[in-house]
Homo-oligomer: A and B are copies of this chain.
C-alpha cells in the first residue's frame, strides 16, 4: 500500500489519522487479462489504483471500441461520470494484462474529504491533473492527424508501447487498426 500512500502525499500531506481511515475502506483485488473491472450499464461507484498491470478505459459506439485512456501502475482513476452524474456507466474498464489494484468507494472517499481538508485538497489537485490530461488529449486530436498522433504516442509512452496491442492503440488514436497498420508501413 506504500505506493498509494506516496501518491496521496505527493500533492498535499495527509495526516496519519486520515490515512488510517482511508486504509479501512480500501480493498485489494486482482483480475486476469481480458477481465472486466466495470461494465457498461453498471453503476460504477469506486476509484481504482493499480499496483501491477494495465487497464483500458473505453466505451462502445456502434459496435466499435474507443479507448479514452490507458491506466498503468501508480495511477488513480475511476468512472467518475457514472458516480457524479448518478447514471449507468457509459464506459468499461478492461484489464489488458493480469492486474492487481486497490479499490474503494467514492462516496466514502468523499466523506473523508469532508472530514479532512487535506484530502479534499488532494482530490482537487487530482481532478486538476485529470483535466489537464484530457485537455491535452482534445487539443492533440484537434490539431494533429493520425500519423502525428501515433508518433507522439510512441514518444510519450515508449514503455507502454510494448504492452499494448496495435488494435488497442488504434482504438485510442481514433482510427481503425487497419489504418494504423498502414501508417506504420509508410514510415
The answer to whether B132 touches A80 (Cβ under 8 A) is: yes
The answer, among B62, B84, B123, B138, for a CB contact under 8 Å with A68, is: B138
Which stretch in A16-24, A28-36, A139-147 binds the other chain?
Answer: A139-147
Least distance between A165 CB and chain B CB atoms (Å): 17
The answer, among B68, B131, B137, for a CB contact under 8 Å with A130, is: B131
The answer to whether B85 touches A132 (Cβ under 8 A) is: yes
CB-nearest residue of chain B relative to A122?
B124
Residues of B within 8 A of A123 (CB): 124
Which stretch in A42-50, A113-121, A150-158, A177-185 binds the other chain?
Answer: A113-121
Q: Is A25 on the interface with B (CB-CB < 8 A)?
A: no
